[in-house]
Structure 1
Amino acid sequence: MIQLSNVTKSYQVAQETFDVLSEINLVIAKGEYVSIMGPSGSGKSTLINIIGCLDRPTSGQYRFQGRELSIAKDQELAVIRNQSIGFVFQQFHLLPRLNARRNVELPMIYSGISQRERKERAESAFEKVGLTDRMNHMPNELSGGQKQRVAIARAIVNEPQLILADEPTGALDSKTSFSIMEQFTQLNMEVTTVVLVTHEEEIAAFTHRTIIVKDGRLVEERLKQGEAMNETL
C-alpha cells in the first residue's frame, strides 16, 4: 500500500543543506498497524507528512496504492488526502464555532456529498467511536478524550484506506490515551491501515510493528512482542 524508496527530505538553511530525512526505504502493507517512534527532531513527523501527502520528498519515490505520488500535481494530492487518508492530530483541530457533527461533516462537504448522506455518515461515525450523545455539543463542551473521538470520527467518515495519527494521545491522560488506542485497534481490525507517530512505548505497544527513526534514518524495526526484527535498515 505504501512504498518509500530512497526518500530524502532536505531544507536549505543559510548556505547549508539540512537533511531531515535521509534515504528512507519503507513498505507498509494494506491492513497493517504501525507506529513510528523517535526522539524530537528525528524526522518522524516529516515522514508521516510525506506519507499523508502533506509534504513532498526532495528526492526518491513515494508510491501509494501503486501510484507514484512524488511528481503528482497539488490538486491530485488534495483529492487523495480527502478521499483515501484520514488524519488525527495531537491538538484535535476542531473548528470551535461548529458543533461536533458539523466538524465531522466537513470532509464530506469538500467531497460534494449530499446533506442527507453527510448526516447519515456522520451519525454512523459517531456510533463507531461511541459518542452519539455528544454530536450536537460544541468543542468547548467536550473533554479531551471526547474531542479526540470527534477527530477520529472526522477521519473515518469518508471511509479512507489509511488513517494517519501524529501523537494522537499526546494531550491526554493515560486512561484516556488507552481508550483512544483501543479505538485505533478496532479500526485496524476492520482492515483499515493505521500508522501513528508516538514517543511513548506504552502507546507503540498497541501496534503490530514499530519503526524507530533517528537523525532522519530508519535504524530499527520491532515486532509487537518487542523482539528486534531488523537493525540498521
Structure 2
Amino acid sequence: MIRLESITKSFLVGKESIDILKNISLIIEEGEFVAIMGPSGSGKSTLMNIIGCLDKPTSGQYFLGGEDVSNYNDKELARVRNQSIGFVFQQFHLLPRLTAMKNVELPMIYAGISKSERQSRAEDALRKIGLEDRMDHLPNALSGGQKQRVAIARSIVNRPKLILADEPTGALDTKTSMAIMEQFRELNQEGVTVVVVTHEPEVAEYANRTILVRDGMIQVSAAAERGQRT
C-alpha cells in the first residue's frame, strides 16, 4: 500500500538547508492500523504530509498503491488525494456556513459525483458514524466529538483505501477520544488502512503497530497485538 524508499525532506532557512526527514524507508501494508509518534519537531507531521501527498520529498521515492507519486505535479497529487486518501485533522476543518451534510458532500463535488449520489453517500456516511439526527446542523451546533465524526464521515465518502488522521483527538476529552478511536478501529476492521499521527500513548494503543520518529529518522517500528480493549 505505502512504500517509502530513502525519503529525505529539506527546507531552506536563509542560506542554510535544514534536514527534516533523513533517509526514511518504510512499508505500511494494505489493511494495517499504524500510529506514528514522536516529540515536537521530530518530523512526524512532515512524514504524514508526504504520505498524504500534501508535500513532495526532496529525494527518494514514494509508492502509493504501486504508483510512484514522488515527482507528481500539484494537479496529479490533488487527484491522488481526492481518489485515494481521506483526511481527518485535529481542528476538524468544517466550513461553518455549511450543514454537516453539506460538509460531508464537499469531497464528492471535487470528484465530479452527481448530486443525488452525493446526497446518498453523505447520508450513509453520517448514519455510519451515528449522526443521522445531526445532518442538518451547522458546525456551531455540534459538540467537538460530533464535529470530528462529521470529519470522519467526510473522509470516507469517496471510499478511500487510506485514512490519515493528524492528532484527531487533540481537541477532545478522554471519553470522546476513545469513542473517536473506536470509529477508526471499525473502519480498519472493514479493510481501510488507517495511519494516525499522535503524541498520546493511549491513542497509539489502538493501532497494531507504532512507528517512532525522532530527529527525522525512524527510531522504532514496533508491532504489537493491540486494539483489544474491553
**Band of TM-score, shorter chain:** over 0.9
Deviations 1:143-176 (A, max 9, x none): 0000000000000000000000000000000000
Which position in structure 2 is the counterpart of 1:75? Answer: 75
Deviations 1:123-151 (A, max 9, x none): 11011111110010000000000000000
Distance in structure 2 (CA, Å) of the matches to 1:194 and 1:166: 11
Q: Residue 206 of structure 1 contacts residue 224 of structure 1 at CA under 8 Å; is this kept in 2?
A: no
User: 1:33: how far off?
Assistant: 0.2
Identity %: 65
User: 1:225: how far off?
Assistant: 4.6
Alignment of 1:38-187 (within 5 A): 38-187=38-187
Equivalenced residues, count:
226
Which position in structure 2 is the counterpart of 1:230? Answer: none
Gaps of 5+ in 1: 227-233
More deviation, 65-74/33-42: 65-74
Matched position secondary structure for 2:133: helix
Distance in structure 1 (CA, Å) of the matches to 2:175 and 2:83: 32
User: 1:71: how far off?
Assistant: 1.1
RMSD: 0.8
User: 1:224: how far off?
Assistant: 2.5
Which position in structure 1 is the counterpart of 2:34? Answer: 34
Distance in structure 2 (CA, Å) of the matches to 1:88 and 1:177: 13
2:144 maps to a residue whose letter is: G
User: 1:118: how far off?
Assistant: 0.5
Distance in structure 2 (CA, Å) of the matches to 1:10 and 1:75: 22
- TM-score, length-scaled by structure 2: 0.97
Deviations 1:9-60 (A, max 9, x none): 0001112110111000000000000000000000001000000000000000
More deviation, 202-211/215-224: 215-224
Distance in structure 1 (CA, Å) of the matches to 2:133 and 2:104: 14
- TM-score, length-scaled by structure 1: 0.96
